[in-house]
Every structure is written in structure tokens, then in C-alpha cells.
Amino acid sequence: MASAGYRIGIVGATGQVGKEFLRILGEGPRDGLPVGELRLFASERSAGTVVHALGRDWEVGLAAPDPDRFAGLDMVLTAIGDELALEYGPAIARSGAVNVDKSNAWRMHPDVPLVVPEVNPEAAAGHFGIIAGPNCSTTQMVVALWPLHRANPIRRVIVDTYQAVSGTGWRAVDELRDQAAAIARGDAITPRVYPHQIAQNVIAEIGGLRDGGDFSEELKMVDETRKIMGVPDLAIQATCVRVPVMVGHSEAIHVEFTREMPPDEARAILKQAPGIVVVDDPKAHAYPTPLDAAGRDPVYVGRIRRDASHPRGLSMWVVADNVRKGAALNAVQTFELLARRGWLHGNRGARDPFATRAAAVAS
């Protein structure tokens, strides 16, 4: 670390996750992550623009998967597409910086930790220069499940998601806004981002269709949850649905435990867990909503109740800001974790599991 703070880079600095990352840093000094230098990178379309963050202006440089571009940096967030992330990750690792990547590219790689700091912080210690952040819908679910699992091992999870359009990107946010305005005017609607109109509708399709009838978002939640929680045979079934909400994913989660767990016990555990706020007073109409969660850090949990269909089951309602906690904040917290524990170097030097990929990109 430089004497004035950590040197941080962002690839995809003008995208929605990059902007949220800068917004979080700009909200005030973070004791675990003093910033001494920022280097912002983006594609040709945005390179050369100026971004105001942390009280000053920063020029956005042209991104390239070249280790020299990241030389001297301590940490680099990449908020880019999967194919680009496969190129940038090894280049950043070879520069000596730690790459925390928000794409799907590295999540299931056996040599890449998939980290949610409230759940599996120790996994970050063994990195080889790349750490993956999970899908936003997975992130909030495991934050809520983990403290319960530690007290009473989970045997099965059924989750149904209600995911905001910002999970697709700002083009989808614009489409929802435009469609709502078109409906008010009585104009015809032609969907562009989604296969169906999203305004006044729900779409039971997120990602690509896979063999067996699941969409890729659903499989991500299964695979990522198993890896993060360290339970490779955990029984999980997910149904992921896009809803006409701008920001904030909601999830109805049904959990089967090893032993019976009364709702009051679950509430007490969750109230003491890091990163969670319990909002659970249905008589007063108090439960989490995406509107209340937007722009805030916690994962909100409510509607904690017995599952009448199973003697060891509980149901709960989990809501979080998908862009903030689901992506940008999780990366900030991962950087803070590395800094606090002295894990910037990780396991590098033992071997380079990305050498083949790096050589292929260089050629």
C-alpha cells in the first residue's frame, strides 16, 4: 500500500456497477480502504471522459488487457462481460494487482475463490490474483442463509426470485421507463431488451435456456451457492423471474433444516448476523420491499415463518439492492477484507493457474 492509501483500478468505470462502486467510495472515508489513487478504464466509447468521484475529477483511460496498464495498482475491479473478463483477469494478476471480477467468467473456476465477505471470508486468502464475486441474486440469498446454516445445517433450499430490470443493465431500466410512459399515452409497445413487454408484466426467463429446462440464472444460483457455502451436494431449486421494478431483487426462500427451527430462533440469529436487517412485523405491514432497499447496504429479511408443508421448514422473504450489495458493495467489502487481513499477495508464487489463458491472450 502506498503511504497515502491503496491504489485502485476500475475496468468498466462508466457502467452501472463501476459508477456504484465510485458512489460508495465517495460517500465518505472507509477505514478499511483508504484510497490513495484511482485509475479508471473503459472502452473506446467512454475513454477520455471525465468522472467526478471522491471530491475531484478523474479522466477515464482506455482499457486494454495489458499488465503494464495496471502496474503499480493494488486492486482492480472488473465490471465487464464474460469474454472480456477472461482476458483481463490474467493480465491484472500478472501485473501484481488483485482482480475482483463481477462477471460470470471465473466464478466456477477451481482456482478462483468465489467470495461473499459475510459468508466465506477465509476463501479469499488462497487467491492467485483473481477473486470472483457472485451473481447478485446469489449474494443476498447466501448472506441470509449462512448464519442459519451455521446454527442448523440446511438440507434443501427452494427459491423464487423477483428480479429488478437493473440486473440486465441500464438499457433495461430505460425500456421499463419508456414502456410505462407508452402505456400511459396509449401507444403500442415493441420489446427490445426482453422477449416480452416488461411493464405491467413478469417474465419467467433470465439468461439462456439450458438442458433440463432451467435458465442459466437459475443454475448460477445453484452452483454458486454450493461453492460459497462449501456444501457441494446441497439440494437447491431456483425459479428466476424478471419483474417491472427498477432496482432491488426480492426472493421467496423456503428452507429445510436438519432439525426444527422455530421462527423466533431464526429471527434472533439473523438480527445478530453481519450485513442483515430484519424487518418482520406483518401486522404493521412491515416487511422488506425493493423500494426501501434501493440505495442501501443491508440485506433485508422478513416474513420469517414456519413452512406448513415440512416439519423442519422455514419460509422467509429476502430483499436487497442488486446493483449495490449484489455487485459494487460486495467488491468494496472484498477489497477491505484483503487489506485488513494482509491477503493482497494471496497464494501467488506457488503457481500460476492462469498462465495458459494469459499466453493465449498475449498471442
Q: For the chain, what are the domain ranges?
A: 6-134+325-362, 137-322
Q: Which residues pair with 130 in a beta bridge?
A: 99
| H-assigned helices in 235-287 | 263-271
Would the pLDDT of 363 be above 50? no
Give the residue with greater pLDDT, 154 vs 363: 154
Q: If pLDDT is split at 50, 70 and 90, which confidence band does 28 have?
A: confident
* CATH, domain range 6-134+325-362: 3.40.50.720
C-alpha–C-alpha distance, residues 314 and 191, integer Å: 38
Q: Are 298 and 277 in contact (CB under 8 A)?
A: yes
C-alpha–C-alpha distance, residues 184 and 190, integer Å: 15
> What is the mean pLDDT of the segment spanning 87-116?
97
Would the pLDDT of 265 be above 70? yes
Task: Determine which helix (DSSP H) or strand (DSSP E) holds 238, and give its type and residue range.
Answer: strand 235-242
Catalytic residues, by residue number, are 136, 249
Q: Which residues pair with 5 in a beta bridge?
A: 2
Q: pLDDT (tens digit, 9 = 90+) per residue, 36-67? A: 999 999 999 999 999 999 889 999 999 999 99
Domain 137-322 homologous superfamily, CATH: Dihydrodipicolinate Reductase; domain 2 (3.30.360.10)
pTM of the model: 0.95
Give the residue with greater pLDDT, 147 vs 363: 147
Residue 4 has a pLDDT of: 79
Q: Are 93 and 361 in contact (CB under 8 A)?
A: no
C-alpha–C-alpha distance, residues 288 and 311, integer Å: 26
CA–centroid distance for 170 within its chain = 16
Q: Which residues pair with 56 in a beta bridge?
A: 53
C-alpha–C-alpha distance, residues 133 and 112, integer Å: 10
Q: pLDDT (tens digit, 9 = 90+) per residue, 201-258? A: 999 999 999 999 999 999 999 999 999 999 999 999 999 999 999 999 999 999 999 9
C-alpha–C-alpha distance, residues 342 and 5, integer Å: 14
Q: What is the DSSP letter of 354?
A: T
6-134+325-362 and 137-322 in the same fold: no
Would the pLDDT of 359 be above 60? no
216-229 and 136-151 helices cross at what angle (nearest 10)? 40
Would the pLDDT of 357 be above 70? no
C-alpha–C-alpha distance, residues 102 and 354, integer Å: 18
Would the pLDDT of 324 be above 70? yes
Which of 218, 222, 206 lies closest to 169, judged by CA?
A: 206
Residue 1 has a pLDDT of: 58
13, 26, 169, 75: CA torsion to nearest 10: 50
Which of 280, 336, 335, 334 lies closest to 304, judged by CA?
A: 280
Q: Average model confidence (pLDDT) for the chain? A: 95
Residue 3 has a pLDDT of: 55
SS3 78: strand
**Backbone phi, then psi, for 308, in 5-degree steps?**
-65, -15
CA distances to 78, 96, 230, 345 from 348, rounded to whole Å, are: 19, 9, 23, 6
